[in-house]
Structure 1
Amino acid sequence: MAKCTIRYWASAKDAAGTAEDTLDADTLQNALESARRLHPDDRFQRVLGASSILVDERPVGKRAHGELTVTEGTVIEVLPPFAGG
């Protein structure tokens, strides 16, 4: 397991009640499951499910979360949908 940081932006930050969490994980899937356990509120769950995820500044897109390895110092960013253009 590696220590990583999840940063929450905009409504994800509001729903989590914090700007970031530091946790141990070995895959992106494990990290997001840990975040869900830390913030079991329905609003957080909805925002997380609708958000774009970046790992070390790279978009995850449709790649399988269980196949993306998390290493020591990895930064995961949760970017909720936003309006505008």
Structure 2
Amino acid sequence: MPSGTIRYWAAAKEAAGTAEEPYAAETLAEALEAAVRRRSGDDRLAGVVRRSSFIVDERPVGKRDHGEVFLTEGGVVEVLPPFAGG
């Protein structure tokens, strides 16, 4: 199973309580579900993730199904919540 790093920005960083954490997952969907599950009882990260955009290994995910975005060994997932003001 690939492992790498999830980086949180802005509101995602606040909701996660950290700037980054490791992942061990095959897909973006699995990595995000595990990150939310680690914060059971605190739904702030789940709410931010639903509104966020993602970049995986420097490539925007766009509207692709997160279950079809495969992660790589040593990869990086960037969680980008909506930003105000451009």
Q: TM-score, normalised by structure 2?
A: 0.92
| Match of residue 50 from structure 2 | 49
What RMSD in Å do the two structures reach over aligned CA positions?
Answer: 1.0
Task: Decide which moves more: 10-19 or 38-47.
Answer: 38-47
| Deviation digits for residues 24-80 of structure 1 (CA, Å, limit 9, x no counterpart) | 101111111111112232211111110111101111011111111111011000000
| Match of residue 35 from structure 1 | 35
Q: How many residues align?
A: 85
Q: How far apart in 1 are the matches of 2:29 and 2:64?
A: 11
Gaps of 5+ in 2: none
Gaps of 5+ in 1: none
| Match of residue 5 from structure 1 | 5
> Structure 1 stretches (4+) deviating beyond 2 angstroms?
none
Taking every aligned residue pair, what percent have the same amino acid on both sides?
64
